[in-house]
Amino acid sequence: MQRRHFLKTASLSVAGAAAAPFVSSSRARADETYTWDMVTSWPKNFPALGTGANDFARRVEQLSNGRMTIRVHGAGELVPALEVFDAVAAGTAEMGHSASYYWRGKVAASQFFTAVPFGMTTTEMNAWLYYGDGQTLWDEIYAAHNLKPFAVGNTGPQMAGWFKKEINSLDDMQGLKLRLPGLAGEAMNGIGVSTVNMPGSEIFTSLQTGALDAADWVGPYNDLAFGLHQVADYYYTSVWNEPSAVLEGTINLDAWNALPEDLQAVVTEAARASNLAMYSEFAFRNAQALEALVNEHDVKLRTFPDDVMAALYQSSQDAIQRQVDDDEESRRVYESYAAFQKTVRPFSDVGEYAYLKSRDNVRD
């Protein structure tokens, strides 16, 4: 009996000793707070893009009940606009907000996670990321660079850009100096245009001084904010280059892995909410800004001629094919992207696209 009493007492003591650290550790973990820095490619508080990063940070702090704070820095405050990828990968900042096609020189496949010329719409792109293989592939590719990516915003369809002269044929495109990143930039190069990549903050001056003949930025809301209508007369609305444009949030992978699971869930859901919020804001603000550009600033809206659009489509397919032939990661990503687009396109055609055409036919 004494032996049984001793064993029972010893067992309870061991169990208590094992349980005590778990309770203490759990309590300390729940009380731990995190303060991160987010570097961005946008001017501080720039409409939708910059404020979208602010919105994400606000959601994280609110959903975490103050356990996690993210300090948002505009382009150039901690790192230059186009060095966000490297800064976050190295741990200079825990997080970044930018667009993945800026890093095509470092990660060729990254371009497919922002925009593909003549590719998927925002609704289709979100479906690929959330329900297809998009997010999984993005995670795999970025993990090799010590990063965890999220979709944290989307501009929706972007305009073809601002041109100093009117485009009446494919011949008028020859030799133009155009700001346009990503695969669309490669496609423009293929039809005789010379493209460059630069931060949005440099576009106005480059158009004003003649360093550029034309430039793509985003859409009416952001283009009006930069005053691009003051330095170019023609606004081309032909959507081909970026039918959807994902804004990415990148997190240093070591910082991500150090977060407890509940805060990882907070960041994930805040990213989803901010992704939808930015897209919705652009839908509203672009409509307001377009009206202002046309009615208050006498901007001349134009569409590309048929020969230009046909040339851009073929050049886009050629640029994509070169990309997938030269890079294994790009091949894997685009195979998934193209297969998903093939799956969802029939419903898009008979659904939203068919409805928009019907609405146009019956409206006053």
Residue 29 pLDDT: 61
Helix (H, G, I), strand (E, B) or coil at 230: helix
Structure tokens at 308: 């230009």
Helix (H, G, I), strand (E, B) or coil at 312: helix
Separation CA 180–CA 161 (nearest Å)? 9
CA 218 to chain CA mean position, Å: 12
Residue 13 pLDDT: 39
Structure tokens at 37: 């820095």
Compute the chain's Rg from CA coordinates. 24
Tens place of pLDDT per residue across the chain (364 aa): 444 444 444 443 333 333 333 333 334 466 799 999 999 999 999 999 999 999 999 999 999 999 999 999 999 999 999 999 999 999 999 999 999 999 999 999 999 999 999 999 999 999 999 999 999 999 999 999 999 999 999 999 999 999 999 999 999 999 999 999 999 999 999 999 999 999 999 999 999 999 999 999 999 999 999 999 999 999 999 999 999 999 999 999 999 999 999 999 999 999 999 999 999 999 999 999 999 999 999 999 999 999 999 999 999 999 999 999 999 999 999 999 999 999 999 999 999 999 999 998 887 5
Structure tokens at 283: 């839908």
Residue 22 pLDDT: 30
Separation CA 201–CA 45 (nearest Å)? 13
Helix (H, G, I), strand (E, B) or coil at 69: strand
Contact predicate 116/337, CB 8 Å: yes
Residue 30 pLDDT: 65
- For residue 163, which amino acid is it? F
Contact predicate 129/268, CB 8 Å: no
Residue 194, beta-bridge partner list: 177
Separation CA 78–CA 61 (nearest Å)? 22
Residue 31 pLDDT: 76
Separation CA 256–CA 267 (nearest Å)? 10
- For residue 5, which amino acid is it? H
In order of their start, the domains of the chain are: 27-155+244-283 (3.40.190.170), 158-241+297-326 (3.40.190.10)
Longest dimension (CA), the chain: 102
Burial class (CB in 10 A: 0-12, 13-18, 19+), 124: buried
Alpha-carbon distance values, 187 to 38, 117, 182, 287, 361 (Å): 32, 8, 9, 28, 33
Helix residue spans in the chain (DSSP H) = 2-31, 49-63, 84-90, 122-131, 134-143, 182-190, 203-209, 220-226, 253-258, 261-295, 306-326, 328-348, 354-362
